[in-house]
Structure 1
Amino acid sequence: IPIYVKELIAGGAAGAFAKTTVAPLERIKILLQTRTEGFHSLGVFQSLKKLLKHEGFQGFYKGNGASVIRIIPYTALHFMTYEQYRCWILNNCSALGTGPLIDLLVGSAARGTAVLCTYPLYLARTKLAYQVTDTRGSFNYGGVRGLYRGVGPTLTGILPYAGLKFYIYEELKRRVPEEHQTSIMMRLSCGALAGLFGQTFTYPLDVVRRQMQKYFLGQAKVDARGSHEGNIAINVSVNHVLSSW
């Protein structure tokens, strides 16, 4: 089997497993970010209890099917393009070396490719998470462009998030003693720390993206003309952003 096929399969399987594992927290995050009625003033654990009471256990996984359908090609493309871009740069731009600049560039390019290819599925997952309408509404409202509402803030956050995530992950791995390099727990720890730092740094952009998506479902009053206007119209205070952490 060609190595890029193995990367596609491994990346897709890993992404599907990870998304399903954290699906309850992912749905709560969407409900809090979009300030859904009855949830915007609650904390994480209170929201989980309320969701369980009103929708049962299955409520935790509402929209997870769309999420998995998106995450399989997304993660597969992400990891495959990361390896392919990295090999291409190392072979054709050897003067850049193998330092942090490579990790930043390659991580950003790989995530950008994956986002552009799978963003409509991401929008569908957001809609299903709080039951407003179906994806056809977006297409009917704005054509193909409607399926990419909110992609601006997503791409804006690619450079700091994806770049930092891969850079920190690679740096942490380099500092792990050689005898522990193949340890699953060590790789999980490095990945968790890298993802935590990158997500925390770019979280405000994630809130803006959700609000822009919700606008085109007819339930928000923000101006979604662009990333900058979205930031101004939403007027997300520090407390509002932190409320969904």
Structure 2
Amino acid sequence: MGSSQGSTLSSNATGFADGSSAHTDVKYIDTVPVYVKELIAGGAAGAFAKTAVAPLERIKILLQTRTDFHSVGIYHSLKKILKHEGAAGFYKGNGASVIRIVPYAALHFMTYERYRLWILDNYSALGTGPVVDLLAGSAAGGTAVLCTYPLDLARTKLAYQIVEARGPVLHGTTQFNASPAYSGIRNVMESVYREGGVRALYRGIGPTLIGILPYAGLKFYVYEELKSHVPEEHQKSILMRLSCGALAGLFGQTFTYPLDVVRRQMQVEHLQPSSQGGVRYRSTLDGLGSIVRNQGWRQLFAGLSINYIKIVPSVAIGFTAYDMMKSWLHIPPRQKSKATSAA
């Protein structure tokens, strides 16, 4: 008996020495379904990327929706926030943003992988090239938006708020007069629901879907297409992934940014004075036309410069973190089809 126990202890000690305990962890990870791993990888990547660019996201929303901000530019907007709200002001709405981005990014990446595999299995005529990534990315973007849009609405309303200031803000000409209307995510959701029900929680979903379908598709299309031209020995380079992700984000955002402006203005329009006393934008096209007529075509691109600055690290970090999380979670490389995967 003692000899048996001694040999067991000896084998355990040997196991720790040669790393077999790590092998046990690997086996445990490998028992987790692939789609669950993809959800975890996508959610973690989204949260990390979103937090990294939160200050730029706050300024971008203010530039899109408040005339007293887009008239003074990025630098003075940053000074306004720092002076009257402190460093914490740069992260106002980031809690809602992260709470939203975790399920959004998780669903986005996971459904992209699932849609991609489904297209390969059912529409082989499309081949296995980047067109499949375009279609799968678009469908995944739409799915993720529909599931998480109310959280995006709450994030925008929280970020739109400016705390009350007692004195002049910039060169003695501008003052903040509005106190925060919402105390947090739950308060936003409850207030919006009381005002207009479920429909109000999806105010602005039209331009969001119209914008996200091409944006999400182009983002995945460009990223995967650029990666396919990288030599095999550089495929795992972090710098390569960051570069491909940055270009993918910039390209996709340029074509869809005006729709993002319409969406933001629709989300906060009840917080702004309306000369008509009602809903200002009846549809996405009406919103685009109204902004051009009343605010000028430049307003369709308000905040685009800072969005470029934000998109470069955000999309780049997101794609890179996702690829690294896939490796860490031992998610197998993408297969041509389910049949290939099973083989």
Report the TM range for the smaller structure's normalisation. over 0.9
Match of residue 237 from structure 1: 296
Report the alpha carbon displacement of residue 33 of structure 1 after superposing the two structures with TM: 0.3
Q: How many Å separate the matches in 2 of 1:92 and 1:65?
A: 40
Q: How many residues align?
A: 244
Q: Which one of 70, 90, 112 corresponds to residue 120 of structure 2?
A: 90
**For the Cα contact (< 8 Å) 1:169–1:194, is it kept in 2?**
yes
Q: How many Å separate the matches in 2 of 1:240 and 1:225?
A: 18
Report the alpha carbon displacement of residue 160 of structure 1 after superposing the two structures with TM: 2.0
Partner SS for 1:216? helix
1:171 aligns with 2:216: no
Bigger-Rg structure (1/2): 2
- State, as a whole percentage, how many aligned pairs show the same letter: 73
1:213 aligns with 2:270: no
Equivalences for residues 33-182 of structure 1 within 5 A: 33-35=64-66, 38-131=68-161, 132-133=181-182, 134-182=188-236
**For the Cα contact (< 8 Å) 1:214–1:220, is it kept in 2?**
no
Give CA-to-partner distance per residue, 1:213-232, whole Å, 9 cap, x none.
11133545662322122222
Q: How many Å separate the matches in 1 of 2:120 and 2:273?
A: 48
Give CA-to-partner distance per residue, 1:162-186, whole Å, 9 cap, x none.
1111111111001111100011121
1:227 aligns with 2:284: yes
**For the Cα contact (< 8 Å) 2:133–2:217, is it kept in 1?**
yes
Give CA-to-partner distance per residue, 1:125-172, whole Å, 9 cap, x none.
001102244232321221100000000001111232111111111110
| Further displaced range: 219-228 or 5-14 | 219-228
**For the Cα contact (< 8 Å) 1:12–1:76, is it kept in 2?**
yes
With the length of structure 2 as denominator, give the TM-score of the two structures.
0.68
Q: How many Å separate the matches in 2 of 1:21 and 1:239?
A: 28
| Further displaced range: 116-125 or 126-135 | 126-135
Q: How many Å separate the matches in 2 of 1:155 and 1:98?
A: 26
Q: How many Å separate the matches in 2 of 1:49 and 1:198?
A: 30
**For the Cα contact (< 8 Å) 1:43–1:243, is it kept in 2?**
no
Q: Quick one: structure 1 residues 220 and 115, their matched pair in 2 at CA, closer, same or farther if it must change by over 3 Å?
A: farther
Q: How many Å separate the matches in 2 of 1:15 and 1:187?
A: 15
**For the Cα contact (< 8 Å) 1:29–1:244, is it kept in 2?**
yes
**For the Cα contact (< 8 Å) 2:100–2:151, is it kept in 1?**
yes
With the length of structure 1 as denominator, give the TM-score of the two structures.
0.94
Give CA-to-partner distance per residue, 1:11-59, whole Å, 9 cap, x none.
10110011111000000000010025x3131211221122111110000
Q: Quick one: structure 1 residues 234 and 201, their matched pair in 2 at CA, closer, same or farther if it must change by over 3 Å?
A: same
Match of residue 315 from structure 2: none
**For the Cα contact (< 8 Å) 2:291–2:300, is it kept in 1?**
no
Q: How many Å separate the matches in 1 of 2:43 and 2:93?
A: 18
**For the Cα contact (< 8 Å) 1:138–1:216, is it kept in 2?**
no
Q: Quick one: structure 1 residues 225 and 9, their matched pair in 2 at CA, closer, same or farther if it must change by over 3 Å?
A: same
Q: CA RMSD in A?
A: 1.5
Q: Quick one: structure 1 residues 220 and 185, their matched pair in 2 at CA, closer, same or farther if it must change by over 3 Å?
A: farther
| Further displaced range: 210-219 or 77-86 | 210-219
Give CA-to-partner distance per residue, 1:164-215, whole Å, 9 cap, x none.
1111111100111110001112111101110111111110000000011111
Partner SS for 2:264? helix
**For the Cα contact (< 8 Å) 1:127–1:135, is it kept in 2?**
no
Q: Quick one: structure 1 residues 5 and 202, their matched pair in 2 at CA, closer, same or farther if it must change by over 3 Å?
A: same
Runs (4+) of structure 1 exceeding 3 A deviation are 216-222
**For the Cα contact (< 8 Å) 1:66–1:121, is it kept in 2?**
yes
User: Which consecutive residues of structure 1, in runs of 5 or more, have no partner in the other structure?
Assistant: none
Q: How many Å separate the matches in 2 of 1:155 and 1:95?
A: 27
User: Which consecutive residues of structure 2, in runs of 5 or more, have no partner in the other structure?
Assistant: 1-31, 162-180, 183-187, 305-343
**For the Cα contact (< 8 Å) 1:123–1:147, is it kept in 2?**
yes
Q: How many Å separate the matches in 2 of 1:59 and 1:128?
A: 11
Q: Quick one: structure 1 residues 231 and 44, their matched pair in 2 at CA, closer, same or farther if it must change by over 3 Å?
A: same
